[in-house]
Structure 1
Amino acid sequence: MPQKIYPRSKDRETIYLKNVISNPNIIVGDYTIYNDFVKEPREFEKNNVLYQYPINQDKLIIGKFCSIACGAKFIFNSANHSLSSLSTYPFPIFFEEWNLDVKDIKNAWDNKGDIVIGNDVWVGYEAVILAGVTIGDGAVIGARAVVTKNIPPYTIVGGVPAKPIRKRFSQETIDFLLKIKWWNWSEEHIRQHITEIQLGNIEYLR
């Protein structure tokens, strides 16, 4: 994995995301890119990962070779309000005002878990992915989709809330791709087979 930030010499809108991350609760795989033509792409942690407060220890895990479009947002558990309470007002956050115990602050929201993005996933323009969601390898998230539930591998989804549109390939091909996991190949092996990957020459890869 190159240590440089910018994959293209004259492009300052596209970055290797892994190389700008400092938050230990954001884990990004090799070669995953983020593009932003509106804001500074190196400020991904600030602008795109929302409500990921340290007290909750929830994680954003993104696999290898993902493509994340401008304005995509990952919204974490602290954005939630408790629905099991008789009120959605987040009293525990204002523990000083209401003389509550600070250790109970996480009772203010429903904790749905981490966000896990597989490998070779394309997250479209201004898509929103909510806490607790797992997106399978090879999936495609349409522009401005709001993902509230898990997405199976190699499934294209869109809409609000996001719903499956179609599978990218036959189930036989999907099973084969999940078996070979090309994203885990060595850099040299990938270079040798880029043409076949790009052209969809599945028989050659077999």
Structure 2
Amino acid sequence: MTTFNHWSETKYIKDIITNPLIEAGEYSYYSGYFINQNFEDGCVRYMWGDAVSRSMFNPIEQMGWHVDKLIIGNYVCIASGVIILMGGNNNHQASSISVYPFPETIADTYQPKGDTQIKSDAWLGMNAMLMPGITIGEGAIVAAGSVVTKDVAPYTIVGGNPAKEIKKRFSDKEIEQLLEIRWFDWQREKVEPVLPIISNGTVQELYDYYLKEVK
């Protein structure tokens, strides 16, 4: 069980995951103090692949299921209370007469939703919920308490239930530049000199640096 001692404490996700179906990049963190829940069995829900579920059954080998993955990029911020719903409970079929997951037919009712992806530099606000199989784009922000039911474009702020676009963080040209720069994929020693620009500069400043020093 992951324990958080104060609201300011965060933990790098790659250091606390054990599930082989979860991938996490560099410097992405989880802040779980106010809920004090385990990342793999609290924040992430209904995901086969942890030690307990692996000891109980193997849906891949036993039932031929394609089990969805959770893929997290670099520098992702996940706040306390966030819920990432995964595909382990995708056995409730609205097209059937009953949505009940009968043990006798459960092997045939599972429908994968696809991998859930949280791209680099995204921020998931407190108590946000992600439905299975969606992609949160680079630099996107999900407002606190939102329920995200579809993909979020890069550098877009969404909020509400269901979450809808509030605004773009930057102009279309700047977003194109940021997706070309992809500073979050640079080696850390290349990021550190431009931290003042990343934290308090303009996209054009960073783009000029990228053209001169990185590209």
- Deviation (angstroms), 1:78: 2.7
- What letter is aligned with 1:124? G
Residues 157, 165 of structure 1: 8 Å contact kept: yes
For 1:107 and 1:12, the matched residues in 2 are separated by: 45
Q: Residue 22 of structure 1 corresponds to which residue in structure 2?
A: 18
- Deviation (angstroms), 1:174: 0.3
Normalised TM-score (structure 1): 0.84
Question: Is 1:185 the equivalent of 2:186?
Answer: yes
- Which runs of 4 or more aligned residues in structure 1 lie more than 6 Å from their structure 2 counterparts after TM superposition? none
Secondary structure of 2:167's partner? strand
- Deviation (angstroms), 1:106: 4.0
- Deviation (angstroms), 1:39: 4.0
- What letter is aligned with 1:46? D
Aligned length: 188
- Give 1:88-99 correspondences, 5 Å limit: 88-91=99-102, 94-95=103-104
- Give 1:16-55 correspondences, 5 Å limit: 16-40=12-36, 43-54=38-49, 55=59
Residues 117, 134 of structure 1: 8 Å contact kept: yes
Question: Sequence identity of aligned pairs in percent?
Answer: 41
- Give 1:1-206 correspondences, 5 Å limit: 13-40=9-36, 43-54=38-49, 55=59, 56=65, 57-80=67-90, 81-91=92-102, 94-95=103-104, 105-205=106-206, 206=208
For 2:197 and 2:68, the matched residues in 1 are separated by: 38
CA RMSD, aligned part only? 2.0
Normalised TM-score (structure 2): 0.81
Secondary structure of 1:143's partner? coil
For structure 2, the 5+ residue unaligned runs are 50-58, 60-64, 209-215
Residues 7, 31 of structure 2: 8 Å contact kept: no
For structure 1, the 5+ residue unaligned runs are none
Residues 120, 138 of structure 2: 8 Å contact kept: yes
Secondary structure of 2:151's partner? coil
For 1:160 and 1:11, the matched residues in 2 are separated by: 26
For 1:115 and 1:37, the matched residues in 2 are separated by: 24
- What letter is aligned with 1:85? S
For 2:202 and 2:182, the matched residues in 1 are separated by: 15
Change in Cα spacing, 1:28 to 1:89, as seen in structure 2 (3 Å) is same
Q: Residue 55 of structure 2 corresponds to which residue in structure 1?
A: none
Secondary structure of 2:30's partner? strand
Secondary structure of 2:144's partner? coil
For 2:110 and 2:146, the matched residues in 1 are separated by: 23
Residues 120, 139 of structure 2: 8 Å contact kept: yes
